[in-house]
Amino acid sequence: MEGDLNALLKQRKQFPYYEAVEILSQIVNGWVHVWSQGYLHRDVKPANVLYSKGQYKLADFGFAVPLKDIDQHKGYNVGSPVYMPP
């Protein structure tokens, strides 16, 4: 099975604890890797997490910016409002 996490969440509604922890762990590891490469994703949401064969990966880097340029992007709201922090 493959697709995006948003569709999977709509289909399954809930996950066993161990599976939810594994999914979140993979997403966080991806986010940390992007950060370690000098970028900020800025649009992490279920629809931007693709999965296949038990592997979950961040996708859609359209709003990503280099960390060195982050000051130039302060004050601009990007991403999906429902997933933005307050």
The enclosing domain of 35 has a CATH number of 1.10.510.10
Domain assignment present for 86? no
Q: What local confidence, expressed as pLDDT, does residue 32 receive?
A: 95
Whole domain around residue 35: which residue ranges? 2-62
Q: Is residue 84 part of a domain?
A: no
SS3 39: strand
Structural domains in the chain (count): 1
Q: Tokens at residue 2, please?
A: 């493959």
Tell whether 82 is covered by a domain.
Answer: no
Reported residue count of the chain is 86
Window from 2-6, 19-23, 60-64 with minimum mean pLDDT? 60-64
Catalytic annotation, pick one of 43, 60, 69, 71: 43
CA 10 to chain centre: 17
CB 49 within 8 A of CB 58: yes
* Largest CA-CA distance found in the chain, in angstroms, rounded: 42
Which among 50, 33, 40 has a CA at the least distance from the CA of 78? 40
| pLDDT tens-digit series, residues 39-78 | 988 888 999 999 999 999 999 988 888 888 877 666 666 7
Is 4 annotated in the active site? no
Whether 85 maps to a domain, the answer reads no
